[in-house]
């Protein structure tokens, strides 16, 4: 599940990140990482929601009650996802969503470590994940808006759509809004957590490196 989300999330940013050597490209890497991580966490929280047959089988639940119950379950799940990812080490210590080196630097990471830049690499990865953790809180109102706009038809589709249905609903309704919300937060957080400085230091360590 997560690997599919990671692939789709990063793929949707591939055009933006094609110039990953630039500062804006580095920030987009963090934005993409936050987006994928938040959606993956929300998906994990939503996996315990039972199918509609399981609900209807216990009584005469109406469609409106089913939709209301789903909204409540997804609200709790989204809140939990934001709380888990937005705390200290919410990204950094979670191997499933941890943000790794940007592709350009990942290709030379071993070499950088071999010539003594291991601590710089580690500091850079930590700073990116700290920025992601700070940005995660901005996802909550966007998730709430998507949840409260769920129709009865949406609810039935999610409940009967298998384990990825809630994930796909969130992706379709929140991806653009989350990306837009994360950008200014990530820009501020990358400056304040030292990502910008760490990135420039690493780029300068590369042959013909140019951090701009």
Q: What is the pTM of this model?
A: 0.73
210 assigned to some structural domain:
no
In this prediction, residue 179 carries a pLDDT of: 84
Q: Cα angle vertex 107, ends 105, 113, to 5°?
A: 70
120 assigned to some structural domain:
yes
In this prediction, residue 84 carries a pLDDT of: 92
In this prediction, residue 15 carries a pLDDT of: 30
211 assigned to some structural domain:
no
Q: What is the mean pLDDT of each run of 10 residues along the chain (212 residues)?
A: 42 36 70 84 70 48 76 87 92 92 80 85 89 87 88 83 80 86 84 81 68 54
In this prediction, residue 53 carries a pLDDT of: 52
Q: Are 57 and 24 in contact (CB under 8 A)?
A: no
Distances in Å between the alpha carbon of 7 and those of 1, 33, 36, 109?
10, 11, 9, 21
In this prediction, residue 2 carries a pLDDT of: 43
Sign of CA dihedral 27, 99, 148, 4: positive
Structural domain including 125 reads 2-12+21-205
**Total domains in the fold of the chain:** 1
In this prediction, residue 178 carries a pLDDT of: 85
């Amino acid at each position: 599940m997560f690997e599919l989300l990671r692939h789709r999330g990063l793929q949707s940013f591939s055009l933006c990140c094609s110039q990953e050597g630039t500062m804006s490209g580095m920030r987009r890497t963090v934005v993409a990482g936050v987006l994928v991580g938040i959606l993956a966490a929300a998906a994990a929280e939503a996996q315990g929601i039972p199918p509609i047959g399981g609900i209807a089988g216990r009584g005469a639940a109406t469609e409106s009650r089913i939709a209301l119950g789903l909204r409540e379950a997804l609200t709790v799940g989204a809140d939990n996802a934001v709380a888990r990812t937005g705390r200290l080490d919410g990204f950094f210590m979670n191997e499933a969503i941890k943000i790794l080196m940007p592709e350009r630097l990942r290709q030379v990471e071993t070499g950088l470590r071999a010539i003594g830049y291991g601590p710089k690499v580690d500091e850079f990865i930590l700073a990116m994940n700290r920025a992601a953790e700070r940005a995660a809180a901005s996802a909550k109102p966007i998730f709430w808006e998507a949840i409260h706009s769920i129709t009865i038809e949406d609810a039935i589709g999610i409940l009967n759509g298998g384990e990825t249905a809630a994930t796909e609903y969130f992706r379709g309704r929140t991806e653009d809004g989350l990306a837009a919300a994360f950008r200014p937060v990530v820009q501020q957080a990358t400056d304040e957590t030292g990502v910008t400085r760490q990135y420039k230091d690493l780029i300068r360590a590369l042959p013909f490196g140019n951090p701009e």
